[in-house]
Amino acid sequence: MKPVASMTGFASAARATALGQLTLELRSVNSRFLDLALRMPDELRALEPSVREAIAAQLTRGKVECRMAVGRGPGESSVSLNAAALAQLTALSRQVNAALPSAAPLSTADVLGWPGVVETPGSDSEELRKAVIDAVSEAVSAMIASRQREGTALRDVLIAHCEQIDRIAGQVKARAPELLVAVERKLVERLEQALGSVLSNASTLTREDVSDRIRQEVTLYGLRMDVDEEIKRLTTHVAEVRRVLAAGGPVGRRLDFLMQELNREANTLGSKAAAIEMTNASVELKILIEQMREQIQNLE
C-alpha cells in the first residue's frame, strides 16, 4: 500500500560549503498544483534551475517555499572585490554624473550590491552545487516523511467518518419503510377527509373511485419518497473512498470528486425526507461530508 501524503509539511537541512554554512528550510501548504517559490542569496542564484528540478522530481502538489541562507564564520572563505567590475561601475557613475550633475553619488551599499562587484570563491564550482543539491534532497526527503505521517493521520480520520456515514445510512435504511408507512397512513387519512365531501354531495364518483384515486396518490408519493437508491449510492461511494485510501498515493483529486457525489446523495436524501428523522440524518451526513472535504483539501 502506497502511503497517503498531506501537502502540509516542514523540513530543514544544513551543509558546510565554500561560501560558509548553508541553511535550508522547506515549507509547504495545500495547492491544486506544485507552486514552488525560492528565496536564495545571489551567490547561489545560478543553482536555481538545479534546485527547482531536484524539488519537482519528488513533489507533485503543494505550495512549497524554499529558503536558503549562507552564514560565514571566522576562518571561512572571505569575499573579494572584482576590480574589473568595480572599474566598469566607476566609469558608468562618471557618465551619469556628467549627464545629470544633480544625481546622488553611489553609496557603499549601492556599489556592493551591483552584480559582479563582490566575488565569492567557489560559487560556481561543482562541489558547491553538490553540497546545495544534497541539502535540498535531505530536506525534501524529510518533508515527504513529515507529509506522509500527517497523511496517515488524515486517512484514519476519513475512515472514521466513513464508518459514521455507513452507520447513518444503515439507520435510515432500517427506519425508512416504517417511516414511509406512517406517513402514507396520515396521507390516506387527510385525503379521505378532503374527498369525503365529494361523496356527501351530489356526485357521479363512487366510493370505489375515490379509494382508487387515494391509492394512486399514495403510490406516487411512496415512489417519490423512496430513498433506497440514495442509500445504495451513498454506501457505494463510501466503499470507493475506502478503496482509494487503501490504494494510497496521490488521492486528493479523486476523493474531492467523491465528496461531491456524496454531497449530492445527501441533498437528494434531504429533499425526499418523509419524517424529521430523515431530515436530521441528511443534515448529519452533510456535516460529515463537509468535514471530510476540508481534510481532503490537504491531501496530495
One domain for residues 241 and 139 = no
pLDDT of residue 160: 95
One domain for residues 142 and 67 = yes
- CA 149, 151, 157, 162 dihedral sign is negative
pTM listed for this prediction: 0.68
Q: Hey, what's the cell of 35?
A: 507552486
The verdict on residue 211 lying in a domain is: yes
pLDDT of residue 198: 56
One domain for residues 285 and 194 = yes
Q: What is the pLDDT along the chain (300 residues), one digit of tens a residue?
A: 688 999 999 999 999 887 788 999 999 999 888 999 999 988 888 889 999 999 999 998 899 999 999 886 554 555 677 788 888 888 888 888 888 888 888 888 888 777 777 766 545 478 888 999 999 999 999 999 999 999 999 999 999 999 999 999 888 887 766 666 666 666 666 666 666 665 555 456 566 655 666 666 555 555 556 677 888 899 999 999 999 999 998 899 999 999 999 999 888 887 776 667 778 888 999 999 999 999 999 998
One domain for residues 143 and 233 = no
The verdict on residue 196 lying in a domain is: yes
Q: How many domains does the chain have?
A: 3
The verdict on residue 237 lying in a domain is: yes
One domain for residues 35 and 140 = yes
According to DSSP, residue 299 is labeled: B
One domain for residues 194 and 285 = yes
One domain for residues 203 and 168 = yes
pLDDT of residue 101: 84
pLDDT of residue 181: 64
The verdict on residue 218 lying in a domain is: yes
One domain for residues 162 and 234 = yes
Secondary structure (DSSP) of 99-128 = H-TTSPPPPHHHHHHSTTTEE-TTTT-HHH
One domain for residues 21 and 134 = yes
The verdict on residue 120 lying in a domain is: no
The verdict on residue 118 lying in a domain is: no
pLDDT of residue 96: 83
Q: Hey, what's the cell of 72?
A: 560565514
One domain for residues 284 and 164 = yes
Looking at 113, 138, 173, the residue that finishes a domain is 113
CATH code, 20 = 3.30.230.10
Looking at 92, 113, 134, the residue that finishes a domain is 113
One domain for residues 100 and 155 = no
pLDDT of residue 89: 82
Residue among 240, 243, 235, 239 at smallest CA distance from 1: 243
One domain for residues 168 and 212 = yes
Position 120: which residue type? Answer: T
The verdict on residue 4 lying in a domain is: no
Q: Cα(18)–Cα(32) distance, rounded to whole angstroms?
A: 38
The verdict on residue 194 lying in a domain is: yes
Position 184: which residue type? Answer: E
In Å, what is the CA distance from 294 to each residue of 29, 91, 256?
14, 60, 9
Domain that holds residue 108: 80-113
